[in-house]
Structure 1
Amino acid sequence: MQPLPVIAVIPARLGSTRLFAKPLIDINGKTMIQWVYERTRLARGIDRIVVATDDQSIVDIVEGFGGEAVLTSTKITSGTDRVAAVADQIPAAIYVNVQGDEPLMEPKAIEAGIELVRSGRFAMGTVMTSLKSSAELHDPSVVKVLADQNGRAIYFSRHPIPYSRGPEPAAGEAFICRRHVGLYVYTREALMKFRALPSSSIERAEVLEQLRALENGLPIGIAEIEFHSIGVDTAADLEHVRNILK
């Protein structure tokens, strides 16, 4: 009997509070969702990639460049819940949630997340990288994370964490917290357990779905990798990414 595969799922929602139809935005001749799909395809250890969306136009675009997409309910409110909807249709041992607004996603980051879960140390894993500037530290669109000495996430926030009574690190010195990278890896059991949990008060306050796991006592393993991730949340982010991908 063949072992169950590792499936990468890219949630892609048409609506966005800041950039409408974000997955379909053109970045130097390709849609954002195609950039994310192609970056994900470069990661080793993935057997199948599926875009999970709430809109037929995104399905058509993905199938047009040779990808696979499934239509999910418009009532789904989080990326992880959309991944779970795919899991209802497609069995796998491990699911990788690659956020659809990360056109610069580093394949090695995906591989690091998969290894965390494949090793058996954690049933849910993610990735972090260093913060590059004070501007990133104070930018609410850049999610910060603290991890313990055993590689387990302590807390995620849009605010600088922890509060520091002293001065910020000087240029060239490391910040205590790290920048969270937009991907998650789960065993099938962990994914289904996560979906069954009610949305938590902390999750709603920060608008960060991973806090649902922490508030309910589900550990999240976290690997550190050196690369600079840029999620596209604003027009300025979009322009920056376009310049990088020229």
Structure 2
Amino acid sequence: MLYTPYMPTYQELARDSGLERPDIHALFHHLGGYNRAFLITHGDEMAEPAFAEHFTRLAARRRAGEPVAYLLGEKEFYSLTFNVGPGVLIPRPDTELLVDLALERLPQGGALVDLGTGSGIIAITIAHERPDAVVTALDISDAALDIARGNAARLAPQVRVLQSDWYAALGDGQFAVIVSNPPYIEQDDPHLEKGDLRFEPRSALTDEADGLAHIRTIIDGARTRLLPGGWLLFEHGFDQGLASRDLLDAAGFGAVQTWQDIAGMDRVSGGLAPA
């Protein structure tokens, strides 16, 4: 008699995975296109062998702490789906505030540059929302640039993606808006060893200093690369609003302000180009 291996049902796969319900739903949709109602209507059916194998493998990686976005290879941001991977930060809703502020201040046909673009979410979203804009995205990481270029080709092909150590590749170019979500976590912050941050690229999270080193570089370089009336806007930690405003004031920026995210935490600071 031939041995027929036991195949679990979809409900058993979910139950025995050790995952939270949202993670189960995300993996079921990713692997089979199954919606949230699938486990109710088809949960007692025998799982397809290939589905069971792939789900079990991804569930093990998730139990080990790997972010769901890396398992799926994608993450939604501003109602767009971006490809992501271990070479870039996972998009977070807080960063949508930076996009909103930039869109409000970007003139018709204006030029914008995104410093340290990562997966390209900021630059590409702005270009998608404003096809008239001239958008440039910069990053120093080869891994990030590969992902950003792929996202741009799919969502906003007009975005220029360049390798650059902050402003180095821009020459004398000037911009109506400069935006950035730089590495701003202090080097000894315990959060770097917790949750999703354990798997994200450390160089995209921390400046290996006080969390303000890259912000200082961005502010200093923006003084000569902003057009008159242009805006610098950058994301930072919830406790870095005051320090960011002090740096902007010292560099001669006007209308210096900090904006709060949906949780009421300081999240973005910026100001007008120095006179």
Q: Give your verdict on TM over 0.5.
A: no
Q: Between Structure 1 and Structure 2, whose CA radius of gyration is higher?
A: 2
Higher share in helix: 2
Taking structure 1 as the reference length, the TM-score comes to 0.29
Relative to the length of structure 2, the TM-score reads: 0.27
Question: Greater relative contact order: 1 or 2 (C-alpha under 8 angstroms, separation 6 or more)?
Answer: 1
